[in-house]
Copies of this chain bind each other. A is one copy, B any other.
Amino acid sequence: MTEVKKDLRYIRTRKSIMDAFMKISEKKDFKDITVKDITTEAMINRATFYYHFVDKYDLLEKVLSEVFLINLNDEIIKDYVLNEEVIVNLFLAITSFNSSLSSRCHNGYEETIARIIKEQLEIIFYKMLQRQSEGEERDRIASVMLSWGIYGAAIAWNKNSELPPEEYIKLVIPHLSSGFYKEPNKKD
Interface residues of A (CB under 8 A from B): 8, 11-12, 15-16, 43-45
Contact = CB atoms under 8 A, between A and B. Distances in A.
Contacts of A12: 16, 43-44
Tell me if A's interface is mostly helix, strand, loop or mixed: helix
Which 6 pairs across A and B sit closest by C-beta, in order of nearness? A12-B43, A8-B43, A8-B45, A8-B44, A11-B43, A12-B44
A119 B24 CA distance: 37
- Protomer copies: 2
8 contacts: A8-B43, A8-B44, A8-B45, A11-B43, A12-B16, A12-B43, A12-B44, A15-B43
A74 to B, nearest CB: 17
A88 B45 CA distance: 37
Given A12-B43, A15-B43, 6 more contacts: A8-B43, A8-B44, A8-B45, A11-B43, A12-B16, A12-B44
Nearest to A7: B45
A49 to B, nearest CB: 13
A26 to B, nearest CB: 20
Contacts of A44: 8, 12
A45 B8 CA distance: 8
Contacts of A11: 43
A17 to B, nearest CB: 12
A15 B42 CA distance: 12
A44 B11 CA distance: 10
Contacts of A16: 12
A179 to B, nearest CB: 45
